[in-house]
Chain A
Amino acid sequence: MKQKDDQLSILFPLFAIGTLIILSICVFASYQNTSRMQPTVIIPGGTTYIGK
């Protein structure tokens, strides 16, 4: 039982780190994906300031 507990106590942190790494890769991929998109200039409607 103690051996099983020891194995689990190592696995949980590994799982957590693995999850965070995968999520980080997804974040990076998401940013890459958007950076390749064709941008469109979106100006707010109505009378408002656009800095020009």
Chain B
Amino acid sequence: MDTLMHKRWFLPFLFAAAFLFRMCFVPNPGFEADMSFWKSWGLAPFDFGLIKGLSLTNNNYPTPFGYILWVVTAIYSLFQNPHIYEEFWANTNLLFLTIMKLPAILADLGIGACILWFSKRVFAKQETTQKTGAYLGIILMLLYLFNPVSILDSAVWGQVDALGVLLFLGAFMLVLKKKPFLAGLVYMIAMMTKLQNMIYGPLFFLFIWQLTGIVGLIQALAGSALAFFGLNVEFLRTKNMKLVIDSLTGNYDYFPYLSLNAYNLWWIVAKGFGMQISDKVLAIGIVKAKTIGLFLFSSFYLLATGTMVVKNYHQVDDKQHTSTIFTFLTCLIIAASAFFLFQTESHDRYAFPITVFLLFWIPMYIKMRTTVKERQLFWKTPAFQNTIIGYIIFSGLYFLNMHTALIENYPKNGLAFLSLINQPFFTILLSYYLLTCFVLFFLANKKDLPKQIIALCVACFFAAILTSNIPLMKKQGISLTKLTPTTYKQQYGQLSINMPTNAKQSDSKTWDRLSVQYVFYTKGLGTHANSTIVYDLAKRFSRFSTDIGVDTEAGPQASVMFEIYGNDRLLFRSPLMKRYDYPKHAEVNVTGVSTLMLVVTDGGNGNIDDHADWLNPTLWP
């Protein structure tokens, strides 16, 4: 092994082999929907420039990512015309598949190099352990380069998670090199390439502060600000910053389901049908699943942040900042895992960064848990063996998650025999296994996690749940406006909460108060016929009461009827109500009702002027 390691061709051979191995999978059409979105989101800027191009597409990535897709399309156009419809949009367009997948594949090689560099750095200071760093680094690098997860994501699926992670690693390494300004700059580039990097922000800047002080933190923030405005200068110049902000915030509630093929807690709750159940269903009391997911993620994030603060305050670190770096990596993995496992609307690929972060954590863990003498035969230590076995098991399980998500949509683009797993029993089992992996990681680090912080996080979580459910516990009336519909649709305008439909509070000329024939209400739902609004009640309520009527802002042709359904059974139907009618009252028994449906019909004469209000809608436990 020593002889091999010192051969000049050894490392290039490994990288070349990893590259060629991935190239074998590039012609696979992959996740065809994602590939078609890349084409669209790249062709529009290519034809019209980035700003106009973005407005023509449903691109929900951060705005600078459009530049990457623009370049991909531009390179494509050097060889073939992207406006030849059947050729460009074909799922077997080899040229596009190659150009699009190359950045992520090269990013994989970059990540491999980073893993090797980091491992060497961890053990560099002592001569007796320098070989440890090199050997361990090669092993970990190979574990990534030939990890089926990384090959699936970059070379088969056609996603760019590796690119986002590589940029984040670049920022991380710049912190280690004590270059905070560049670290902040590169972090922002990472975030604007793959928005998921946003979740590491607080931990990352806290890490910068701990390693480089307050001056370093300010420099990092300055670097981030420069990168943010630099990447969006065209939007700034043309006063289109709203597009930038929308791209960063628009993904909240973009896919309102319990889980998008992420085998996590919510996949179990959904009994294997995470993509068919809204995350607005009530989970604990009157708290919806989405909120529970946010509470859980926040609790773990509080644990991660609190751990970093407390450990840094109490410990005396060495010159290599070993403890600080180890704590940061541990907390990063906790935060990334909580994001994947406990939030609703989680995608199958959201755990991809964990497969990388673990390979940075492992050498630190081995260094923390072994003596200098033991490190010379590191492969015999339990620290090495347990972590490597754990990593391989986790990677295998996670690969099954991602692969099942791929073949559920595109059976021909994966391994046919693995389609047997695509059944609720196996996918739920995988969810339990992945949760168990997280628990085991937690236990492996339990002595590094302050008990008082754990207790605080547990207390905060339960306090949040209890506080949110006080009205239910007190058997008070609960306004329906506090719940979120699982689905709703209406033929005109938008459903408004505590306002008439389509009212805008920022525009004082628009009528923005709920009222029926000038009887004013503060709470209610403003809708427009024909509409259907569905709520999950989870059988927690006995009575539903509401006032109903045509909003004062409606025109003279308004005429509507209100209907209330419980579990698809009609509970109430109003008479025909018109513009000048006073509000009427409805009260229905909803004992045992799981689904409450509020329907407004147009009264049979079309839906012109049919602005309809549900006023003071209240549920009683």
Q: Which residues of A contact B (CB under 8 A)?
A: 5, 8-9, 12-13, 16, 19-20, 23-24, 26-27, 30-31, 33-35, 37, 39-52
Contacts and interface: CB of A to CB of B under 8 A. Distances in A.
In the A-B complex, list the 4 residue pairs whose CB atoms are closest, starting with the nearest.
Answer: A34-B27, A39-B90, A23-B20, A49-B44
A34 B92 contact: yes
A35 B92 contact: yes
Contact of B91 (A27, A30, A42): A42
B56 A48 contact: yes
B460 to A, nearest CB: 38
Contacts of A51: 43, 47, 82-83, 85, 88
Given A20-B16, A46-B58, A47-B58, A40 B24 contact: no
Contacts of B91: 39-42
A31 B94 contact: yes
B214 interface: no
B252 interface: no
B174 interface: no
B86 A41 contact: yes
B28 interface: yes
A35 B151 CA distance: 21
Contacts of A27: 20, 23-24, 26
Contacts of A26: 20, 24
Prevailing SS type, chain B contact patch:
helix
A26 B23 CA distance: 9
A27 B23 CA distance: 6
Contact of A16 (B9, B39, B41, B90): B9
Given A30-B27, A34-B92, A49 B53 contact: yes
B104 to A, nearest CB: 17
Contact of B94 (A12, A23, A35, A48): A35
Interface string B163-203: 00000000000000000000000000000000000000000
Given A49-B43, A49-B53, A51-B47, A42 B9 contact: no
Contacts of B32: 42
Given A16-B13, A37-B92, A41-B90, A49 B40 contact: yes
Contacts of A50: 40, 43, 85, 89
Given A23-B17, A50-B43, 7 more contacts: A23-B21, A30-B28, A39-B90, A39-B92, A41-B90, A42-B36, A50-B40
B509 interface: no
Nearest to A26: B24
A36 to B, nearest CB: 9
A52 B90 contact: no
A3 to B, nearest CB: 15
Contacts, number: 105
A31 B23 CA distance: 9
B3 interface: yes
Given A30-B24, A39-B92, A44-B33, A49 B17 contact: no
B380 to A, nearest CB: 25
6 contacts: A40-B92, A43-B89, A44-B40, A45-B33, A48-B59, A51-B82
A20 B20 contact: yes
Contacts of B89: 41-43, 50
A27 B28 CA distance: 11
Contacts of A52: 85
A49 B57 contact: yes
A49 B93 CA distance: 18
B426 interface: no
Contact of B35 (A16, A39, A42, A47): A42
A16 B40 CA distance: 41
Interface string B4-38: 10010100010011001101111111001101110
Contacts of B17: 16, 19-20, 23
Nearest to A15: B13
Nearest to A29: B24
Contacts of B92: 34-35, 37, 39-40
Interface in B73-99: 82-83, 85-86, 88-94, 97
Contacts of A20: 13, 16-17, 20
Nearest to A13: B9
Contacts of B43: 49-51
Interface in B34-71: 35-37, 39-41, 43-44, 47, 53, 56-59
Nearest to A8: B3
Contacts of A37: 92
Contacts of B37: 44, 48
A22 to B, nearest CB: 9
- In this complex, the member of B40, B43, B59 whose beta carbon has the largest number of chain A beta carbons within 10 angstroms is B40
A42 B57 contact: no
A44 B39 contact: yes
B33 A12 contact: no
A24 B39 CA distance: 28
B493 to A, nearest CB: 18
B342 to A, nearest CB: 28
A5 B2 CA distance: 12
A31 B3 contact: no
Contacts of A49: 40, 43-44, 47, 53, 56-57
Nearest to A44: B36
B80 to A, nearest CB: 13
Contacts of B20: 20, 23-24, 26-27
A45 B32 CA distance: 11
B26 A30 contact: yes
A34 B33 CA distance: 18
- In this complex, the member of A19, A47, A50, A52 whose beta carbon has the largest number of chain B beta carbons within 10 angstroms is A50
A27 B101 CA distance: 14
Interface string B585-612: 0000000000000000000000000000
A50 B44 CA distance: 8
A14 B540 CA distance: 72
A40 B91 CA distance: 6
A42 B27 contact: no
- In this complex, the member of B32, B36, B53, B97 whose beta carbon has the largest number of chain A beta carbons within 10 angstroms is B36
